[in-house]
Structure 1
Amino acid sequence: MSSFYKAKEVAKILDISVTQSYRIIKKLNEELDKKGYITIAGRVPKKYFEEKYYI
């Protein structure tokens, strides 16, 4: 089991389009970059996503 959400998973969780989920992932990854973390395009850490979206 991966510790990352992919764009399709984010889209399903938030009930949005995959295109919009890529935009959200990009924004979250930019925040992580500023904090000094290494990120993967098109994926977001589950823990960070769940913190930001109160899941």
Structure 2
Amino acid sequence: MNELLRVDEVVEICKVKKCTAYKIMKTVNEEMAKEGYMTIRGRVNREFLFKKLGIKGEKYASN
């Protein structure tokens, strides 16, 4: 399972449009950067995103 999600995966998980998914990713990455984590533009950490959204990740596990 890839730990970094792309925008299309965030769209599917959050049920939002692509522009909204990019905003979510930017917000999560900004919070991670403030905590001292390195981030990659256009990617978001799966575990951190799920934690911020308050959801369990098992439902979205990749095969």
1:1-55 aligned at under 5 Å gives the runs 1-55=1-55
The normalised TM-score by structure 2 is: 0.81
Please give the alpha-carbon distance, in whole angstroms, between the structure 2 residues aligned to 1:8 and 1:24. Answer: 12
SS for the counterpart of 2:44 is strand
Uncovered stretches (5+) of structure 1, i.e. residues with no partner: none
The normalised TM-score by structure 1 is: 0.91
Uncovered stretches (5+) of structure 2, i.e. residues with no partner: 56-63
Runs of 4+ off more than 4 Å:
none
**Count, aligned residues:** 55
Instruction: Name the larger-Rg structure.
Output: 2
Identity of aligned residues (%): 36
